[in-house]
Amino acid sequence: MIYSIDEDLKEYHLDRVCIGRHRVNHCYFDLRRRSPIVGPRSPESGTPTNVEENESVLVVLLADSGRRTVIPTVNQHCSMVPNRRHHEVFPAKRASILDMRLRWFLYRPDRLAEKYMKPGDRVLDFGCGPGFFTREFARRVGENGQVCAVDLQAAMLAILRGNLEPEGLMTRIRLHQCRPDAIDLPPEMNGTFDAAFAMFVVHEVPDPAKLFQEIARLLKPGGTLYCAEPVIVSGEEFQEYVARAGEAGFRQIDRSFYFVNRAVVMKKR
């Protein structure tokens, strides 16, 4: 797997990362210093000998040279998802692709809504995009329910409004622009959602573990989480997402393919 580390260190592409003596494939971290230090490796741990024993570091094996580069970090509690690729956020300028009529016949969002929600429910649609799933969710929850449509891009939310306002559905929809690293809904909404959907979006999130923790806080006890990922996400990477969700307090109740994509249904414990 190939990743770039940081804006100031883009020339360094890594195919293996270590935190201390624990080797992982990907990390997110804050840099204490901008310039990496390179030194001879300890034969026991592989950590360069010019790093203090109690210093929190990332040890990076550079793919092009075989050298190990050490980058000191602010703390050693970095978020780790093994074998995780870097995936770009789908741009709003291509939103029309996500709302094609053909996709409706392939994914049948109406059936998804009918199966996992009921009239009056409060539903979280994380990574809603132009509203492809939001539309059917809003129809299903009815006038007494609400869909909270969350997206990182303000342009996506504007497109969603433009699509669904003429259909009279915006009275059932709350729009929310999240941060790149957090859903960031107000605390009073914790424990108020009956179901949450993350459709083809977890692979775009920098910290899936944190995402699942936030969703768990937002859901009622026994609330449903439906997560589907596209074919660009490997089975191994998808399993890591399921594991992170389990650590956040979810239990798996079903696992299947959603058209050609992997999907999992989980309940909050």
3-state secondary structure of 61: strand
**Domain match, 180 and 230 both:** yes
**Domain match, 97 and 70 both:** no
Q: Give the total number of structural domains in the chain.
A: 2
**Domain match, 46 and 128 both:** no
> Is residue 85 in a domain?
no
> Is residue 234 in a domain?
yes
Return the residue matching tokens 């979006």: 201
Q: What is the pLDDT along the chain (269 residues), one digit of tens a residue?
A: 223 333 333 333 333 333 333 333 333 333 333 333 334 444 454 444 444 433 333 443 333 344 444 433 333 333 334 445 557 899 999 999 999 989 999 999 999 999 999 999 999 999 999 999 999 999 999 999 999 999 999 999 999 999 999 999 999 999 999 999 999 999 999 999 999 999 999 999 999 999 999 999 999 999 999 999 999 999 999 999 999 999 999 999 999 988 889 999 999 99
Query: What is the model's pTM?
Result: 0.70
Spatial neighbors of 4 by CB under 8 A, at least 6 apart, are 10, 12, 13, 86
Range of the domain at 99: 92-268
> At residue 31, what are phi and psi to the nearest 5 degrees?
-90, 135
Which pair of structure tokens corresponds to residue 257?
A: 């393919």
**Domain match, 140 and 73 both:** no
φ/ψ region of 259 (left if φ > 0, alpha if ψ in -120 to 50, else beta) reads left
